[in-house]
């Protein structure tokens, strides 16, 4: 629950982890904020947020941390447009090799254009986007740029 999430976020042992799979534990927004704000999290290479009640907080916290984490793989459901646009401008996002954005209706053609134009997201090995607001034009832009590295639904 929320208390466990805050405890994990404040743990010095966090530095020994490379992969964190949160599963279904309802860690909460405050736990995610604490986790990504902890300098010990810098060694994490993968965070899978699982079925938690984070809402858009995963990507928002990552952007707030200025992508100074060493993450290679980020799964961030319900991403907000402002955070997606900010991500495209973050130099630290260049470390990402996989970005999964399920249930992210704010990912639209403007965000697609920002991702395509971003020098920091050009080397993504996987971009998975699930958005009903991404038009055929936006999908074509992403497909032309990312090719088989794109999964768009």
Tens-level pLDDT at each residue, the chain (153 residues): 567 777 877 787 888 888 888 776 666 677 777 777 788 877 778 777 666 666 677 777 777 765 556 678 888 888 899 999 999 998 888 888 899 998 899 999 999 999 999 999 999 999 999 999 999 999 999 999 999 999 998
Do the strands 126-129 and 150-152 form a parallel or antiparallel pair, or are they unpaired?
Answer: parallel
**pLDDT score recorded for residue 70:** 67
């Amino acid at each position: 629950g929320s208390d466990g999430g805050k405890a994990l976020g404040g743990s010095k042992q966090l530095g020994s982890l490379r992969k964190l799979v949160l599963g279904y534990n309802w860690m909460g927004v405050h736990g995610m904020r604490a986790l990504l704000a902890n300098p010990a999290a810098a060694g994490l290479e993968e965070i899978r947020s699982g079925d938690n009640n984070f809402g858009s907080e995963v990507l928002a916290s990552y952007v707030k941390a200025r992508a100074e984490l060493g993450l290679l793989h980020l799964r961030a459901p319900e991403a907000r447009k402002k955070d997606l646009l900010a991500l495209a401008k973050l130099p630290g996002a260049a470390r990402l090799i996989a970005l999964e954005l399920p249930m992210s209706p704010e990912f639209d053609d403007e965000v697609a254009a920002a991702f395509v134009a971003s020098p920091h997201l050009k080397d993504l090995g996987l971009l998975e986007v699930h958005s009903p607001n991404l038009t055929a034009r936006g999908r074509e832009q992403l497909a032309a740029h990312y090719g088989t590295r794109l999964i768009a639904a």
